[in-house]
Chains A and B, each alone.
Chain A
Amino acid sequence: MAIVQTRALTKVFKKGELGAVNSVDLESREGEFLVLLGPSGSGKTTLLRMIAGLEEPTSGEILIGGRVVNDMTPRERRIAMVFQSYALYPHLTVLGNIVFPLKAQGMEKGERQKKAEWAAGLLGIGQLLHRKPRELSGGERQRVALARAIVREPSLFLLDEPLSNLDAKLRASARTELEQFQRRVATTTIYVTHDQVEAMAMGDRIVVMNKGLVRQIGTPAEVYDEPADTFVATFLGSPPMNLIDLGEVTVGFRPEHFFPVTHLAGQAAVPADMRADARVGPYVPLKFRLSHEEYLGAERILYGQLEGGKFDGKPAVSRMSSTHGAVYESGSVHAFAVRQEDLKFFDREKGTRTEPVPLS
C-alpha cells in the first residue's frame, strides 16, 4: 500500500505559456480508487505520467510511500501502469507479456510461472496464455494488461483511460469488472478519465481538473452536490447544471432539482400569478416555457426558457423520471420550482462557490 503525494507539482512544456500541470497538491489515501477527471488538455494524463516517472516535472515534488521519488526511474517506483492502448508486447504471447516484469526483476522461472498463473486466474484469462495479443478481443487485451500489472504486486496502480478503446456496450461490463478487481486487490489506484460517469461510478474520490489546475477534490457526492466552482458544476452531471447570471452572482440548479410545482410534497396550491422570484416556503417558484422535449426511455429531458422577473428569457433544462406521465405541450408555460437548498451560488467573475444571496 502506498500513499501518493504531490506538492506544487508543475509541468511546463513551452516556456512562457501556461503549464500542462500547474502547482498541483494531491494526497491519496491508502487503498483508495482516486480518479483524475477532466476534459482533454486538462493535464490529467501529464500528471499521471509524472507520477509514473515517464515525464519529468518542471518543479514540485512527488512522493510515494513517504519518499521523494522525483529522481527515481519508473522501475524503481514499484508502480504498475495500464496504458490507453494497453501496450501489450505484440511479439510475445500472453504468458510472455505477463511474466516480462517478473523476468526484469530477476525472478526464477518456476516462481514466475506460478505468479503468472495466479494473475491470469484472477482475471479469468488462464486459457489465453499461449495466444498472441493480435488474436485477442479488446476486453481480453484489457485483462492481459491488468494481469501484467498485478503480477508484480505493486504498491500503486496507474490507469490511463483504459476503457476508452472499448465499444460502448463492452465498456459498462468492463467497468464493473475493473471496480471489483480493484476492490479485491485493494491496491491504491489512480485512474485517469474524461468520462464523468466512469469517474462517479468508480471513484472513491475524484480530482476534477481543468487547464492544468485542480478545481476540486472530493467524493462523488461532494463534487456533485457541492461543486467548488462553475466548471465542476457543469462538468459533472448530464445534462449540465443550469447556470443563470444574476448581477454579481451566478445561480445554479441541477435539471433534476427543477421540476413542476405539482411534484412538491404537500401539494400546497401555489397561486398562478405568484411572481417568479418570491419565496414560497423552502421553494423558489419559476415559470417555465417549454420549447422541446427529449424522451430517453427512463427519463425525460425538457428544454425551455424561464419567464418573468429576474430570470426572464434565460434558458433552462429540466429532467424527470418517465414515471411522471404528464404531457407538456411545446410553447406552454408551467409553474416549476427549485428547492432553496438546491440553489448553488457562484461568484460571477471568478466562478467560485459563494454564500447564498437573497433573490428578491
Chain B
Amino acid sequence: MSALGRQRWLGPAMFLLAILYVVALVGVPFVLAFLYSVGDVKVGSVGYHFVGLANFKSVLQNPTFLRSLRNSFVFTISSQVLVLLGANILAMALKNVFPGRRFVRFLILLPWVAPVSIGSIGWKWILDSLYSVINWVLIRFHLANEFSPPMYLGEPKLAMISVILVHTWHMLPFATVIILAGWTAIPKDIPEAAEVDGAKFFRKLFQIELPMMLPIINVAVLFGVIFTFTDMTVVYILTRGGPYDTTQVLPSQAFFTGILGGDLAEGAAISLFLVPLLVLVAWLMLRSAHRAEVT
C-alpha cells in the first residue's frame, strides 16, 4: 500500500478501539434497556418474552412512579434556577483578581470535586434528626422548638427542600466555573464602550454582558439539568427516597425497582423515561453550540 494509502487507514485505526469500547458499553446497554422494558426480564430469569407495553402500563398506573416523575422535574428545575442565580452572582464576584482568590476558589470548588456521595453524607450529618447543628443554632436563637425541631429529612416538604438544596450545593461550583470562563471570554473593550456610552452597572450587565454570555450560560444550564435529572445518589444517601417515597426520583425509583427489587424489566421501563429529556437537552446543546460557532 502506498504511503498515502496507509495514512488513510491510520486515522480510523487509531480511534476504532475507542469507538468499539464506547459502543459496547454504552450503545449495547442502551439498546438492551429498550428491549428489557418491553420484555419480562427479572434477575435470574433465563428466557425472554415480549410483553409489549405492559411494563409501561404498570409503571404509569403506580402513584409512586408518578410522584417520582413529578419530583424529578421539581427538583431539577428548582435546583437549576437556584444554581443559575447563585453561579452568576458568584462568578461576578470571582472574575476580578483579589488577594486570597486562589483559596476561595479552592473552597468553592469542593462541593463539586468531592464525590457526591461524600458530600451528601456530610449533609446528612448536618441535617440529622437529633444532632443537626442547624437546629442547635435555631434553638439557641429561639427560632425553633427544642422538643419538636424541624426534621429536615423526616418531613416530606422539608425533605424535598433538603434534596433540592443539596443538589444546588453540589452543582453550583460547576456552573460557576463555566460562567467564569464566559466572563473571561468577553473582550475587555466592550464593557468599557458600554460604560462610555452611559450604561451603569445593571444596564451593562443585563443588556450587554449577560446576552453575550448566553451561549455559555446555556451550556452550563443544560449540563446541570442532565446531571441533576439523572442523579440518584443525593436522594439515595439523604433519604433513600423517603419519608414514604415522597422524595423518590426517576433514577432512584429505577434502582429500587430494578436492582433491589429484581424486576429488571420494570426498572428499565422507569429509567427510559429519562430518555425524552436527554434527547431534548442534547438537541438544545447542539443547536446552541452551532450558534456559538457562527458568531
Contacts and interface: CB of A to CB of B under 8 A. Distances in A.
Interface of A: 52-54, 73-75, 79-81, 83-85, 87, 89-91, 100-101, 104-105, 134, 148, 152
A100 B295 contact: no
B198 A83 contact: no
Nearest to B191: A87
B226 interface: no
B194 A100 contact: yes
Nearest to B210: A91
Nearest to A105: B198
B203 A104 contact: yes
Contacts of B200: 75, 104
Contacts, number: 60
B196 A74 contact: yes
Given A73-B195, A89-B212, A104-B200, 19 more contacts: A54-B192, A75-B196, A75-B199, A81-B196, A83-B189, A85-B187, A85-B189, A87-B190, A87-B192, A89-B190, A90-B190, A90-B295, A91-B211, A100-B197, A100-B207, A104-B198, A105-B198, A148-B197, A152-B197
Contacts of A87: 187, 189-190, 192-193
27 contacts: A53-B195, A74-B196, A75-B195, A75-B196, A75-B200, A80-B196, A81-B192, A81-B196, A83-B192, A83-B193, A87-B187, A87-B190, A87-B192, A87-B193, A89-B190, A89-B193, A89-B212, A91-B214, A100-B194, A100-B199, A101-B197, A101-B198, A104-B197, A104-B198, A104-B200, A134-B295, A152-B198
A90 B212 contact: yes
Contacts of B197: 75, 80, 100-101, 104, 148, 152
A213 to B, nearest CB: 26
- By DSSP majority rule, is chain B's interface helix, strand, loop, or mixed? helix
A85 B191 CA distance: 13
A87 B193 CA distance: 6
A73 B199 CA distance: 10
B295 A54 contact: no
Interface in B184-225: 187, 189-190, 192-200, 203, 207-208, 211-212, 214
Contacts of B193: 81, 83, 87, 89
B54 to A, nearest CB: 51
Q: Which 3 A-B pairs have the closest CB atoms?
A: A104-B198, A87-B193, A101-B197
Contacts of B295: 90, 134
A79 B199 contact: no
A105 B295 CA distance: 29
B275 to A, nearest CB: 34
B182 to A, nearest CB: 13
Interface residues of B, number: 19
A100 B208 CA distance: 10
Interface string B211-248: 11010000000000000000000000000000000000
A104 B199 contact: yes
Given A54-B192, A75-B196, A134-B295, A91 B187 contact: no
Interface in B144-194: 187, 189-190, 192-194
A42 B27 CA distance: 62
Contacts of B192: 54, 74, 81, 83, 87
Contacts of A52: 196
Contacts of A80: 196-197
B274 to A, nearest CB: 34
A53 B193 CA distance: 11
Residue from B194, B197, B200, B214 with most neighbouring chain A CB atoms (10 Å): B197
A54 B193 CA distance: 10
A75 B198 contact: yes
Nearest to A81: B196
Nearest to B294: A134
Nearest to A84: B189
A75 B204 CA distance: 12
A66 B189 CA distance: 28
Contacts of A152: 197-198
B88 to A, nearest CB: 17
A152 B196 CA distance: 11
Nearest to A134: B295
Nearest to B204: A104
Contacts of A84: 189
A83 B187 CA distance: 12
B195 A74 contact: yes
A81 B195 CA distance: 10
Contacts of A83: 189, 192-193
A214 to B, nearest CB: 24
Contacts of A134: 295
A134 B293 CA distance: 12
A104 B201 CA distance: 11
Contacts of A81: 192-193, 196
A242 to B, nearest CB: 40
A53 B195 CA distance: 9
B78 to A, nearest CB: 29
Interface in B96-118: none
A89 B196 contact: no
A148 B196 CA distance: 11
A75 B203 CA distance: 12
Contacts of B190: 87, 89-90
Residue from A75, A80, A87, A148 with most neighbouring chain B CB atoms (10 Å): A87
Contacts of A53: 195-196
B45 to A, nearest CB: 57
A291 B199 CA distance: 60
A83 B191 CA distance: 11
A136 to B, nearest CB: 14
Given A83-B193, A100-B197, A134-B295, A89 B203 contact: no
A54 B195 contact: yes
A83 B207 CA distance: 19
Given A90-B295, A134-B295, A54 B196 contact: yes
A278 B48 CA distance: 116
